[in-house]
Structure 1
Amino acid sequence: MDDPEHATLRRMVTGDFANRKMELLRPKFQQMVDGLIDDMLAAGNSADLFSQLAVPMSSTAICEILGVHNEEGVRFSKLGKIMASPASTPEDNVKAVDDMRALLRSLVERSKTDPGDGVIGHLVSAGEVPDEEIVATALLLMAAGHGATAHMTTLGTMALLANPDQLALIRASRDPKFIANAVEELLRYLSVAHLGRRRVAIDDIDIGGVLIRAGEGIIVATDTANHDPSAFEGDPDVLDLNRDARHHLAFGFGVHQCLGQQLSRVLLQVVFGTLYRRIPTLALTVPVDRLSYKLGLAIYGVNELPVAW
């Protein structure tokens, strides 16, 4: 979607993802993450970090932002888990998406009399967006927010376990500024979101001495840009939690920059600042090269991350 339609719709929901609101939600997110870790510890000395921590954490958080609560929130989370599960068949996924659309439609209808405090209610109250567009917007926000943060949690854990010196830094730190900087470096290093990178030039442009003519296609490889040695000091292929990586492109750039980036940042700060401190002996139970990866999708990640302590 381009402006002015894009700017109009985005403006209606920007407040729901503002940094101030995310900071107000931080204590609730902290309680949620601690609860999920409590459940893992109570269940034994091993877990699948993806399905038992990353997915429910992301799902619960996006429910909070959309305004999906109580029984609907439970249904929402179950459907999101099916959509994220490696065991799901294509038929299961199609049915889950259809059921998710039906759930969102019912929430749109209910919001017409009880809007609540979430994206769905705010869009309904605005009275400017057709019902089906609200459903499509909510589904997009669910898929993007749910998937990217969940995969950052598991891949970030893999990266830290593979770099024990960096893991020791984040485990020992009680400095919120260091944790926040570490999250930015992990976002740069991993660059899990590969969607929204295809563009078409509307004018002739020159980039690095290469002429791209109007009408030609472009793939903006943000993961490559995030490993550009001219943009990041030191070796950008090395994970360095002390690096200033705030100018990374993991959330894109410009008017289409990721709407939910502050939500993702706060969640990742909470989980990375908590998990390794509470489970200091966390370790993978299978070699990295035996893990099953999500390939060919808009968001990169693993299907499961078996760990023990």
Structure 2
Amino acid sequence: MSVEDEFPLVQFMRENFDPVGELARIRAEQPMFPMAIPGDQTVWLVTRYEDVREVLGDHERFSNDFGNIIGLGSNQDDPGGLGFRDPPEHTRLRKYLTPEFTMRRLRRLEPRIEAMVEEYLDRMEKDGSPIDLVQSFCLPIPSLVVCELLGVPYEERKDFLRLSTNRFDFSAGPEASIQAVNDAMAYLTDLVARERQNPGDGLLGTLLREHGDELDDRTLASMADGLLTGGHDTSTSMLALGTLWLLENPAEAAKVREQEGYITEVVEELLRYMTVVQVAFPRFAREDMEFLGQKVTKGQMLLCSLSAANRDPALGEEMDKARPERPASSSHLAFGHGIHRCIGAPLAQMEMRVAFPALLRRFPDLRLDVPFDEVPFRKLAIVYGLDALPVAWGPRQA
């Protein structure tokens, strides 16, 4: 494959933790980069930090509407929840969710997250070493947190875990993934209908009690599906990649175990450094314009490379290394920027602040069970992560 052939894919490519070097070269030499795609169309790849912030923060010039992709009218039923909607529909729906993601509201979930983490650590200890940490810990925790958030009944959580896991398993092909999404939507639509009859204490029940006359079942199910999409695979990937980095940096792992507040700095820097969501939801030019020295025509797509932006040397020194002591790591773009910044960011941060220290304290001798170069990183993934993380603890096998 030639370099030219790789350009349409370069934003999805990694070398272990790092974006490929070609992406850095594009950022330095042509930060508004034209990529040719089938149909003689041009997609613009935006790579510098300040430029990405400008695009993501300007919904007047750049649209998120899913109809731009599938050729339908504005704000059609879509797979992205709020991510593929423009104002005023985006504004209307987000206002219902925003109060549920304040830190005051989320603190009521913290004891439950702590209990879930301890439960799965107990299971790991019972099952014994070695294990695949992705399957045993990183995958179930985010799914169960979404269950707790939405108000999925306890007796249905095992099936919900299967539904939410299947939608991110692409090994059986795209048809199976589409079917898994449809199955999840069918379940969520049914759950909303039941919650409407008897609202519980979760997010769905709260929205139905307070705004039930303003939100139909399909819209609520789509909002819930968007929270599942945004909060499951991303958190799973961060837990896996973050654990791998900590195992490769034992001095940092020791500080996480021993220093009570240090995990906050580690989480923010790992979010920047890993940037598991490699590109933001696509934007579309609302009008002909000149942008960053290029002529952009109405309807053309702009892809913002979050992984390139978060490694931009303009942000400081050694941005290609993880330095938890780095000042102002929270200015990263791992959760996006502007009106579409991930609404569940505080919940994801809370999950990681709970999970990493608990894991390292329970298993202080946790280690990789394979050489680092045998760890299966994902290939060409929008959400970067690990297919597996083989770990062990206790006495080493002969």
TM-score normalised over the length of structure 1 = 0.90
Deviation at 1:19, TM superposition (A): 1.5
Change (3 A) 1:83 1:111: same
Tell me the distance in 2 between the aligned counterparts of 1:86 and 1:117: 34
Tell me the matched-pair count.
304
Deviations 1:153-211 (A, max 9, x none): 00111122222332232232222xx211110000000000135342223363544xx34
Determine the C-alpha separation between the residues in 1 that align with 2:285 and 2:182. 35
1: CA distance, partners of 2:255 / 2:231 = 27
- Confirm or deny: 8 A CA contact 1:197 1:221 kept in the other structure: no
Deviations 1:88-135 (A, max 9, x none): 555553443333222212111111211212332344442222322222
Q: Please point out which of 320, 327, 346 is paired with 1:237.
A: 320
1:135 to 2:218 alignment: no
SS of 2:131's equivalent in the other structure is strand
The answer on whether the counterparts of 2:170 and 2:177 sit within 8 Å (CA) in structure 1 is: no
Moved more, 160-169 or 110-119: 160-169
What residue in structure 2 maps to residue 17 of structure 1?
A: 101
Report the residue type matching 1:234 in the other structure. Answer: E
Q: How far 1:45 moved relative to its partner?
A: 1.6
From 277, 280, 283, the equivalent of 1:196 is: 280
1:1-309 alignment to 2 at 5 Å? 1-85=85-169, 90=174, 92-125=176-209, 126=211, 127-175=213-261, 178-202=262-286, 204=289, 206-207=291-292, 210-211=293-294, 213=296, 215=298, 216-231=300-315, 233-244=316-327, 245-309=329-393
- What's the offset of the Cα at 1:229? 1.9
User: In the TM superposition, what is the alpha-carbon distance from 1:84 to its structure 2 partner?
Assistant: 3.9
Greater alpha carbon shift after TM alignment, 198-207 vs 66-75: 198-207
CA 1:270–1:288 in 2, change beyond 3 Å: closer, same or farther? same
Which amino acid in the other structure matches residue 102 of structure 1?
Answer: A
* Greater mean alpha carbon deviation, residues 190-199 or residues 138-147: 190-199
Q: Is the contact made by 2:275 and 2:334 (CA closer than 8 Å) also made in structure 1?
A: yes
Deviation of 1:48 after TM superposition, in Å, equals 1.1
Q: Match for 2:111: what amino acid?
A: P
**Mean Cα displacement is larger for which, 127-136 or 290-299?**
290-299
Check conservation: 1:151, 1:192, Cα contact below 8 A.
yes
RMSD: 2.1
Cα pair 1:101 1:135 within 8 Å, conserved: yes
Counterparts of 1:128 and 1:224, CA distance in 2: 40
**C-alpha distance in 1 between matches for 2:168 and 2:294:** 41
- Structure with the larger helix share: 1
Which protein shows a greater Rg? 2
Identical-residue share of aligned pairs (%): 35
Deviations 1:30-61 (A, max 9, x none): 12111111110111122111111111110110
